[in-house]
Amino acid sequence: MIDEYRLDRFVAAQADTYDDALDILRRGAMCTPYMDFIFPRLAPADDAAGAFALPSLDAAAAYLAFPLLGNRYRECVETLFKLVRTSAHDVFGDTDAARLHASLTLFAEATNEVLLRSVLMTWFDNRVDEETIVRLRAE
């Protein structure tokens, strides 16, 4: 199998950290160093997302179609539903809440899955991350 989008970098990054990241998330928090490879987002023009940014909508779709990564992403998103009495800002802080919003928007656009749309509705008042949408339309 050709790894056109270098998804193996996510597998490697998550190998020793995923269980810890999920445990932290289940307790209602998130560790900033895990954000980029647990909730990846579209590569911004200034490449601030670094090594774990996804280059396109097709890359996000491939990420979700990759069984290990897609299942882990969905597991983390499902965990957010259990934290419904909190907010993205409470769990992630301002900066990481914005990163989560961008990630959810990217993946919701890539698949239009009810799960991802539901989290956007619940945690972000059904609003997408406008910057992500603008960049996707420019692709």
Chain-centroid distance of CA 10 in Å reads 12
Average pLDDT over residues 59-72: 97
pLDDT category of residue 51 using cuts at 50, 70 and 90 = confident
The fraction of the chain above a pLDDT of 70, given in percent, is 95
Q: What is the per-residue pLDDT for 31?
A: 87
Q: Tell me: the pLDDT tens digits for 83-130?
A: 988 889 999 999 999 999 999 999 999 998 999 999 999 999 999 999
Look-up: residue for tokens 């999920």? 22
Q: What is this structure's pTM? A: 0.93
Average pLDDT over residues 33-44: 92
Q: Does 78 score more than 90 pLDDT?
A: yes
Cβ atoms of 57 and 109 within 8 Å: the answer is yes
Domain extents for the chain? Answer: 8-138
The fraction of the chain above a pLDDT of 90, given in percent, is 79
The CATH superfamily label for domain 8-138 reads Protein of unknown function DUF1810 (1.25.40.380)
